[in-house]
Amino acid sequence: MKRILIVDDSFYMRTMLKNMLTDAGYEVVGEAPNGQTALELAKETKPDLITLDVILPDNTGLDVLKGIKGEQPDMKVIIVSAVGQEVIVNEAMEYGAQSYIVKPFSEEKVLEVVSKVLAEEPKSE
Tens of pLDDT along 39-82? 999 999 999 999 999 999 999 999 999 999 999 999 999 999 99
**C-alpha R_g of the chain:** 13
Instruction: Report the C-alpha gap between 5 and 11 in whole angstroms.
Output: 14
Instruction: Report the C-alpha gap between 20 and 25 in whole angstroms.
Output: 9
Identify which of 29, 75, 32 has the alpha carbon closest to the alpha carbon of residue 53. 32
pLDDT at 120: 84
Q: Can you give the length of the chain in residues?
A: 125
**pLDDT higher than 80, residue 123:** no
pLDDT at 121: 73
Inter-residue contact 66 to 95 (CB < 8 Å): yes
